[in-house]
Amino acid sequence: MQYRTLGRTGITVSPYALGTLNLATAMGNDPADSARIVHKALDAGINLVDTADAYGDSEEVLGRALAGRRDDVVLATKFGRPTGQDPNHRGASRRWIVTAVENSLRRLRTDHIDLYQLHRPDPDAEVEETLAALTDLLRSGKVRAIGTSGMPASDIVEAQWVAERRGLARFRTEQVAYSILNRGIEREVLPTAQRFGMGTLVWGPLGQGLLTGRVRRDHNDLTRAGLFRHLTDDHRLATVEKLVPLAAEAGLPMAHLAMAFTIAHPGVTCALLGPRTEQQLDDLLAGLDVTLTDDVLDRIDEIVAPGTDIGTLDQAYRPPALDDAALRRRPIGSRAAA
């Protein structure tokens, strides 16, 4: 295992990290099976484990699984997404942050969180208030580093400027979707994170299942059932059909090609695996030492141009203005007369 430094945190992490959304019992996993997945990942050398307070009971499952092994883990969790019906049980206000961290510490059965991440930007909270609250958590020792997830490049820059001007702690990491099919972050987010010395954790390296090799145009039960939008996107499926022969020529399973691509980018620190079973984890770990040649990377660039997205991930962050028409239209009374 060739470890990497997580931005300028001084924390060393594995290039593959374990994402635990799928280990929540609501996803159909028994906690004992989830614990075995966690232990197998740790035994293989993975040392960063990522979860969130919005992932059902994932934090609780992980907390029990890490009993006796907590010191071996860079433990990351997230706050900010809704955790209930109360409108104040979400977001990035100081009020919620100080409550959310205590809840996560209790569920994770630990006295500190190594990486505490804002799960999604909160347009209703001043970034200065958010950073001030997180700075206090860092000083108290409850949190060791702070980061963001799904933050646009402009918001990353603003947060860095506010931290510098107000003498507050900086966001040290960004967690964002990245795969062969979703390369849009290569335009601004990755270069911006690199400029500020931030570590980058990427999720969805397998395109939410499309890059496993099991999802194809002509034999895909999930597509026929129409369960997920990204599995019915013809453009994405057509691109996968172009990648399948490339993987075969390289002598690699599709999943290994996809994972190796994500961690080849110098701006990416680690890629999150999201296995549901031990077998899925074994299959992914088998490709840990795969390195893609320049020729293969060039071929991928020909299929999916750098800095472009093929379709949209179901869980990708959408700025509020894209969903709320009132945020992208001037009030009628303020419009100039025709």
The single residue of 16, 55, 116, 178 carrying the catalytic annotation is 55
3-state secondary structure of 123: coil
Q: Which residues contact 322 (CB under 8 A, 6 or more apart)?
A: 328
301 token code pair:
């660039």
CA dist 234 and 152 (Å) reads 27
Q: Which of 248, 153, 260, 253 is nearest to 205 (CA)?
A: 260
CA dist 153 and 187 (Å) reads 9
Q: Which of 106, 45, 102, 114 is nearest to 77 (CA)?
A: 114
Residue 3 bears catalytic tag:
no
Q: State the DSSP H helix or E strand holding residue 272, giving kind and residue range, or none if neither.
A: strand 270-273
CA dist 223 and 116 (Å) reads 36
CB-count exposure of residue 109 (10 Å: 0-12, 13-18, 19+): middle
Q: Are 16 and 288 in contact (CB under 8 A)?
A: yes
Q: Which residues contact 265 (CB under 8 A, 6 or more apart)?
A: 178, 186, 190
Which whole-number Å values give the CA distances from 286 to 171, 257, 279, in the listed order?
33, 12, 11
3-state secondary structure of 166: helix
Q: What is the DSSP string of 11-69?
A: -EE-SEEEE-GGGSGGGT--HHHHHHHHHHHHHTT--EEE--TTSTTHHHHHHHHTTTT
Task: Estimate the crossing angle of helix 254-264 against helix 278-285, to 10 degrees.
Answer: 60
Q: Which residues contact 203 (CB under 8 A, 6 or more apart)?
A: 19, 175, 176, 177, 178, 271, 272, 274
Active site residues: 55
